[in-house]
Amino acid sequence: MIILGIETSCDETAASIIRGTNDKIKILSNVVSSQIEIHKKYGGVVPEVAAREHVLNILPVINEALNKADLTPALSLSRRGRFIDAIVVTTGPGLITSLLVGVETAKTLAYAWGAPVVAINHIEGHIYANFINSKPKFPALILTVSGGHTMLILMTGHGKYKLLGETRDDAAGEAFDKAAQLLNLGYPGGPAIAACASKLKVESENLKVKLPRPMFNSGDFDFSFSGLKTALLYEIQKDKNWKKKVSEYAYEFQQAVAEVLIHKTIKAALKYNCKNIMLSGGVAANIELRNQLKEAVKNKLIGAKLIIPEFKYCTDNAAMVATAGYFRAKQKKFTPWQKLKAEANRELM
């Protein structure tokens, strides 16, 4: 089955062609046009600017994905037939103006090509990044960490999810962005914090900078990072020499986030007897989080398998969306193109 995936939920215009056979996924192309450099000067994503860039980039990106997969004549709207078995598109959650570009493009191509459409939740796309080069077993526990979401999800089968916990305020990725802004490290915050923390020249146990681990012992699987940002702000306000210790602050902030995420993940895995643990979302690219989670699973979840996507499949891309859509298409879960719509607050379940 040949799938075209389209992703435009935020500031990445992405298209991918995959071939699915049974449960095996082969990536034929994966094209991403990033807007990071455009939004850097604003310190975050500007929705109107993102939408305009999507409009400019969406057809060239799809065209490039088709050409790289050797599917020609690429965007010839007069060519009907099943050179594409299904079109998969992210319909939410995300920025509504960004989502609309992808959704309207998918509707047009579905009509022109006579291809069925699968509507995919953006979070589900991140989850299925783990299925590109692996075959996870159920029940599986997924820690999803991105700029807009922080969630612990129990997955009992394809398309079968139970939300165990989520952030009550800011997502971890958003907290990294705000922390980087406070420390004058730039945008995007996650990579900036990680790079700065890696420059730490003292042993971590000798750090004088201390930040709280929010909701560490809350007794549930929810998260909260708003207070951590405030704690960081208060610390640097009372520290006259904080600019000389930026790497210490970055390290401690990153460590506080990682420890809470890992503690709750291990706790949930033990409670639900999950033998497969998956990490997903843009923050899954954080090296410290990846390494520390590997160590925790090895030491505390005997016999469990940790699955982490390749770095290129952690941040927003269309290969993950196409993969999620493939498993939906196998179940014939299509949406008529006339009923396809963007939903900024679409929920996973």
pLDDT tens string 263-307 = 999 999 999 999 999 999 999 999 999 999 999 999 999 999 999
Q: What is the mean pLDDT of residues 161-182?
A: 96
Q: Are residues 163 and 53 in the same domain?
A: no
With a cut of 50, say whether residue 81 has pLDDT above it. no
Q: Is 81 helix (H, G, I), strand (E, B) or coil?
A: coil
Whether residue 232 is found in the same domain as residue 305: yes
Contact 205, 246 (CB under 8 A): no
Query: Given a cut of 50, is residue 200 above it in pLDDT?
Result: yes
| Continuous segment of H or E residues that includes residue 107 | helix 96-113
348 in any annotated domain: no
Query: Are 95 and 116 found together in one domain?
Result: yes
Q: Has residue 243 got a pLDDT over 60? A: yes
- Over residues 3-18, mean pLDDT: 97
Please give the pLDDT value at position 77: 47
Distances (CA, A) of 18 to 54, 99, 288, 325: 22, 21, 30, 10
- pLDDT reading at 121 higher than 80: yes
Ramachandran quadrant class, 314 (left: phi over 0; alpha: psi -120 to 50; beta: rest) = alpha
Identify the sign of the CA torsion 284, 289, 291, 296: negative
Predicted TM-score (pTM) above 0.75: yes
Q: In the prediction, which pLDDT does 202 show?
A: 67
Return the DSSP state at 285: G
pLDDT at 201: 73
On whether both 275 and 319 belong to a single domain, the answer is: no
CA quadruple 87, 173, 199, 181: dihedral sign: positive
Query: Is 149 within the bounds of a domain?
Result: yes
Q: Is the pLDDT of residue 96 over 50?
A: yes
Mean pLDDT computed over every residue of the chain:
94
Token pair 């971590």 in the structure block, residue = 204
In the prediction, which pLDDT does 206 show? 73
Residue 153 has pLDDT above 80, yes or no: yes
Confidence tier at 80 by pLDDT (50, 70, 90): very low
Domain encompassing residue 166? 138-309
Regarding whether 147 and 23 lie in a shared domain, the answer is: no
**Average pLDDT of the residues in 84-95:** 96
